Chain A
């Protein structure tokens, strides 16, 4: 079945880069997503990548996709305290919009 795994916790210093990793199992997923969730709030779409791409850059965010290994990563450059949140990766799954989420990675940024 579909499954998405992430590391649970990451702590970085302000100004450093953060790299959050994710592995997924459904090779038929068309899109892979990164969402951010701040405490008590809903999810905010950060970025997404089409499955035939290797990399996507969007300002401080860089997404790398290794389709062979089914590995997705999110790099946040110059991490700020406001980046502290839970980050979820998700795959679109076989049927498109029906997202399957990882358990989330808690990012803690120390000043």
Chain B
């Protein structure tokens, strides 16, 4: 089946630094990718929709200057957490779909960010 890969799977950084997370669709092209954030024992919260070749669409309450999204190609979207703080520590998951009639979305393995 379709595969979506994220990197890194775990990252620890100091407060104030920026961290980049990559999301790749390995065997299909994705004009749209989605970024989610998951807090412990909670569901996924959609952060933004990443559109290839154009600006991302952010959900209400998500700071676009804080969470920079770049969808530079049909197989790669990146999420950069800028000037990270401990409250940004979370599990970030991306998803993408091949755009078939099923509307299936495949998820990356997730990236656990810990900000010290």
By a beta-carbon cutoff of 8 Å, the part of chain A in contact with chain B is: 30-31, 33, 35, 40-45, 48, 88, 92, 96-104
Contacts and interface: CB of A to CB of B under 8 A. Distances in A.
A99 B43 contact: no
Contacts of A98: 34, 46, 49
B108 A48 contact: no
A31 to B, nearest CB: 5
A39 to B, nearest CB: 11
Nearest to B91: A40
Contact of B103 (A35, A42, A44, A92): A92
Contacts of B34: 97-99
Interface of B: 6, 32, 34, 42-44, 46, 49, 93, 95, 97, 102-110, 112
Top 8 closest pairs, chain A to chain B, by CB: A43-B107, A42-B110, A42-B109, A103-B43, A42-B107, A101-B43, A31-B103, A101-B44
Contact of A43 (B42, B46, B93, B97): B93
Nearest to B96: A97
B107 A104 contact: no
B32 A97 contact: yes
